[in-house]
Amino acid sequence: MTPVALSVVLEWLSKSGLVEDGSLECGGVENRNLECRDLVCRENFLLTGFAALDKANESDVTFWLADTCKSETNANGFPAEALRSVKAGLLFVPKECAASTSAASSAFATSAAPGVKCVVPVKNPYHAMVEFLKEFGENTSGLVSGCAASAEVHPSAVIEGFVGENTFVGPNCVVMRGARIGANCRLEANVTIYPNVEVGEGCIFQAGAVIGSRGFGFYEYEGRRLMVPHVAGVRIGCRSSFGANMVVAAGFVSPTTIGNDCHFDSFVQIAHNCVLGNNIFMASQSGIAGTVTVEDDVEFAGGAQSAGHLTIGKGARIAAKAGVTKNVPAGRTVAGFPAVEIDQWRRSVVNLRLMAKK
């Protein structure tokens, strides 16, 4: 995002309908001091980014759902104890947590979130974060575009971002504004790289691969299901390969991340907010839902799937057509649906066949 002063964000919030009327009456915005009703904001400073609660720094915007709001997947959020270690510039919290008096807000910020510079009570923190991203999330400064002198680009390709040394870009590829492709990469025909995607060196993208598109995420607000803007992009390490027609979706407030030496077959789906380590292999038509952590050296066989908000431990193997619904410990091999240890699954299959013969 383009850096923006806290005072500008607070002024926007006061007119947005996201907070109760009059709860953001601030003075002194032209100076470093801010005097705001019902807020703990003692200075004006630049907000330079956004991130998930556990990844935010002192100039980031983030949000906390507590127990009064649910994410689009109804997954549990961070407990209140986690706020004590949070470092953030601006934190949206449910208004029930930081009550509608300045004393209550001050007490909440001091005791529950001492590392946060500005705590803003809102009706719905998730919706407030979405609206903030719509207003301020786009990065309009410091973007580099063009191609290195040694890059080979087909005449039909569209390059609005940056392409590094010795990289090949094939027919009808699109590298959008804000994307960056490292050296010695290869983009075959019809590859699409969305904004805010960063690719390391030596990666290969087969025909039709799509990297950084919006994820399939929705949330409920005032009786309606609204789309989640996945604007945090994708970060990819080095020497990874991406099969034909596979998709890597962008993250919401933190990027979808893929490490080094990962290899994906055709029609693989990596959903929004996933974090993949190094040396991961996923065969054709396998996929992982949103916010899954896949540790190093994991293998997915053909058609294997994982539900969202899970962790697949280091060295785990997911057998063909398995459906993972719970965390998989490191080194475990699972099969079936719902996925269980493969020996247990084999015994259950044998028992079913024996029962069928009776």
Q: Which two tokens stand for residue 123?
A: 């009706």
CA distance 304 to 324: 8
Candidates 154, 263, 272, 309; catalytic one: 272
Please say whether the beta carbons of 313 and 328 come within 8 A: yes
How many angstroms separate the CA atoms of 327 and 314, rounded?
11
Q: List the helix and strand counts (H, then E) for the chain.
A: 4, 39
Paired strand residues for 281: 263, 299
Residue 52: burial class (beta carbons within 10 Å; 0-12, 13-18, 19+):
middle
Active site residue 309: no
Q: How many CA atoms lie within 13 A of 346 on its CB side?
A: 6
CB-based burial label for 278 (10 Å; 0-12, 13-18, 19+): middle
d(C-alpha 123, C-alpha 25), whole Å: 17
User: Which residues are tagged catalytic?
Assistant: 272
